[in-house]
Amino acid sequence: MLDSLKEFAAFKDNPLLGFSDLTVVNEQGETVSTSFANYQGLPDPQTQPLERLLYQNVVTGCTCCFNRQLLEIACPIPKEVVMHDHWLALCASVFGHSHYIDEPLVKYRQHGKNVVGAKRIPKSGISALLDPAFLKTLSIFPWHLAQSIEQAKALLDRIELSNVAVAKGDVNTIKAF
């Protein structure tokens, strides 16, 4: 992961975030899925546009590596932020750069007491509509959308307080959201 950030040497003074995929394992350490992103049905983290990142996180905190510049721009983390990894991804997207390594560098242990956990959601068909994980996701959608909007407002506040140049298009995207 550290080597991947070194690839961004030209941007070393900018906020940088590196993150990777994970292998999902069960309580006994047996592989459930060789790709957390595929298991969760996440879009390609390498091409996640800001428009979608505002409401759908593709970064898992335990895989993150970042530089001091990202830490300084992201902290303190606003109270409106639900997940720290999502906030880091948003800050890297708006203020700097992120780099995804499309290989599992971490084993993510899935067990009955995970606070968040990896949830396999069928991608299509009637089974997807009846899947308990999908129904739970659907039931919390209004809360999730409201939290995403508050987080976007906090991001706008951070942009206003920072001394870092931000693309006008990104500001307009966040305001539109």
Decide if pLDDT at 129 tops 80: no
Decide if pLDDT at 39 tops 90: no
114 by Cβ neighbours in 10 Å (0-12 / 13-18 / 19+) ranks as exposed
pLDDT the model gives residue 137: 67
108: β partners: 24
Q: Give residue 115's pLDDT band: very low, low, confident or very high (50, 70, 90).
A: very low
Q: The pTM is what?
A: 0.85
Q: Give residue 20's pLDDT band: very low, low, confident or very high (50, 70, 90).
A: very high
Alpha carbons 3 and 1: distance in angstroms, whole number: 5
Residue 102 neighbours by CB distance under 10 Å: 11
Sign of CA dihedral 96, 93, 114, 20: negative
